[in-house]
Structure 1
Amino acid sequence: MDNNKRFKAVFFDLGGTLRIALKDEPYMKHARRKMAEIAGTDMPYEEFFQMIEDRYEPYRKWALSEFKESGDEELWCKWLLPDYDPVRIKQVCHELSYQYRQTKGRRVVVDGGVEVIQGLHERGYKLGIISNLIGETEVPDWLEEDGLDKYFDSVILSSVCHLRKPGFEIYQLCANEMGVELAECVSVADNVKRDIPGAKKAGVGCNIIFESPEKKHAVEFTEETRPDAVIRDFREILDLLPPLN
């Protein structure tokens, strides 16, 4: 990492970076049951959940290939539950997205995450979130409930802007909202294939890869995916970014 450069803003990825999914089977089972209840299906909840999983694969393939993301209404009415009452599904689509994500784990802020957010804010950095995920309401609700929304100048979610990483346009959206140049920004993320190429193409000034506790194997870098720094403890970000004043 070039310590001679002067950065003004930091983008955080969410899944596997700022937030970690813990495998909590009772919690995940409750979410599977809740999904079936919300949708009003007559199917056993585990069977219903497996149907959603099967239907999600074509959607995911489309999203990954096109660098696009559907909003909640389109996701559930077009892709996942097109054979259900559209009036009902439109009413419950946000809650369906939320519960579907909870079937993958109970999400918590990474160890040291709040300390880093508060520390960077106190040091004068503008903070943003850029995340690929389904669900339009979960992240704003979480930020407000945890009292973290006041620290972020921009929150860009693929489910809201309908763009995905590794496309570079999503970085431009965040920088524009924050009022900074991309060369003045630092990106903190965990997925080299998803998070590095688009950020480099966009012109992000510095890329930090966090070796997430969710990762089960070592990461190998190529010229296209090589970051400027690698950290293993989230608090190391504070060692890399000095106060602006």
Structure 2
Amino acid sequence: MNPDIRTIFFDVGNTLRIVQKDQAFIDAAEAGLMELIQTNETHDALFAKLEQRWNDYRRLSKSTLLDVSEGELWSQFLLPDYEPNSIYANAPRLTRLWRDHDGRRVARPDAVDTIQELCRRGYTLGIIANTVTETEIPDWIADAGLAACFKTVILSSKVRLRKPDPEIYHLACRCIGTPEGACAYVGDNPVRDVEGTQAAGFGMMIRIDEPDTLNMEKATGKEFTPDHVITRLSELLDLFPAR
């Protein structure tokens, strides 16, 4: 029997939104980043250095299950060899440009309609996401007309905690006012999203089948089984009838 789910939390990257490769968009982002920091380095040298430092930071954050703010990320980890006050001040813009250098982030075709319908059906909605951005996701929510749908937005760059640490899930439940057993989580990662949700005692975990995530996720020796696997967000409407 399914638990009585009252609240549904969502991941964002590769769950609500996917990345589309757009070379012109990527080129513009990279040029903008170089202009913003007024670098004398070549494009290839700068981005090779940034990729290496980014990968080093990712390994650290995954091992400690802690994230830093945008200002700390850029001034201490990614560009510590540049003038720190300028880098810190420009960190939010640098984060946007760095993320854009992966490609254009767009909502899944059924994301907005599904979220709005779940809200109409009486579910409380929230977000729990590992992300380096502090403003881009809230801005996207507002631009998509979804600000009224999400009661709380928990971002690792703001709260420092990272999935799969169950504490980030417990924090989200306290903020939204729903006990863990009455919450569901929708995410794409077959390891950390499932592991963290289950360790936190959530009533349900739904994994959206995203090939890009599965291709990137290396074998960890861990196996976690979600309660449901979906291929489209609109399938959530079959799992969550009107309350």
TM range (shorter): over 0.9
Query: Which residue matches 1:132?
Result: 130
Cα offset for 1:218? 11
Note the C-alpha offset of 1:55: 1.2
2:227 matches 1:236: no
The CA deviation at 1:37 is: 1.0
* Residues 149 and 93 of structure 1: CA distance in aligned 2, closer, same or farther (over 3 Å): same
Change (3 A) 1:58 1:213: closer
| Aligned position for 2:142 | 144
Deviation at 1:45, TM superposition (A): 2.9
Contact conserved, 1:20 with 1:214, CA < 8 A, in 2? no
For residue 19 of structure 1, the aligned residue among 17, 20, 23 is 17
Moved over 3 A (4+): 213-220
1:226 paired residue number? 225
CA contact (8 A) 1:16 1:213 kept: no
Gaps of 5+ in 2: none
For 2:175, the aligned partner's letter is E
Is contact 2:190–2:214 with CA below 8 Å preserved after alignment? no
Aligned residue among 28, 44, 61 for 1:63: 61
| Contact 2:9–2:128 (8 Å) recurs in 1 | yes
1:49 maps to a residue whose letter is F
Say which SS state the counterpart of residue 186 (structure 1) adopts: strand
Task: State how many pairs are aligned.
Answer: 242
| TM-score between both structures, scaled by the size of structure 2 | 0.94
CA contact under 8 A between 1:68 and 1:164: conserved in structure 2? Answer: yes
Q: Which has the larger displacement, 10-19 or 207-216? A: 207-216
Following superposition, the deviation at residue 240 of structure 1 comes to: 0.4
Once residues 231 and 138 of structure 2 are traced to their aligned partners in structure 1, the CA distance between those partners, rounded to angstroms, is: 27
1:185 pairs, out of 180, 183, 186, with: 183
User: Structure 1, unaligned stretches of length 5 or more?
Assistant: none
CA distance, structure 2, for counterparts of residue 16 and residue 238 of structure 1: 19
Query: What's the secondary structure of 2:148's corresponding residue?
Result: helix
Select between 45-54 and 230-239 the one with higher mean Cα deviation: 45-54
Classify 1:66/1:29 alpha carbon distance in 2 versus 1 (closer, same or farther; 3 Å). same
Which residue number in structure 1 is paired with residue 115 of structure 2?
117
Tell me, in whole angstroms, the C-alpha distance in 2 between the residues paired with 1:202 and 1:131: 15
Q: Provide TM-score, normalisation by structure 1.
A: 0.93
Instruction: Determine the C-alpha separation between the residues in 1 that align with 2:22 and 2:101.
Output: 9
Q: Deviations over 1:86-145 (max 9, x none)?
A: 111111001101110111111011121111100100001000111111111111111122
Deviation for aligned residue 1:224: 4.7
Compute the displacement of 1:44 (Å).
2.4
Q: Distance in 2 between matches of 1:69 and 1:218?
A: 20
Percentage of pairs with the same residue: 39
RMSD of aligned residue pairs (Cα, Å): 1.9
What are the Cα deviations for residues 182-209 of structure 1, in whole angstroms up to 9, with x where unaligned? 1000100111111011111100100001
CA apart distance, 1:38: 1.0
CA distance in 2, matches of 1:127, 1:94: 26
2:30 equivalent to 1:32: yes
Does the CA contact (< 8 Å) of 2:92 and 2:133 recur in 1? yes
Letter of the aligned partner of 2:206 in structure 1? I
Between the aligned partners of 2:176 and 2:8, the Cα distance in structure 1 is 10
Distance 1:73 1:217, change over 3 A: closer
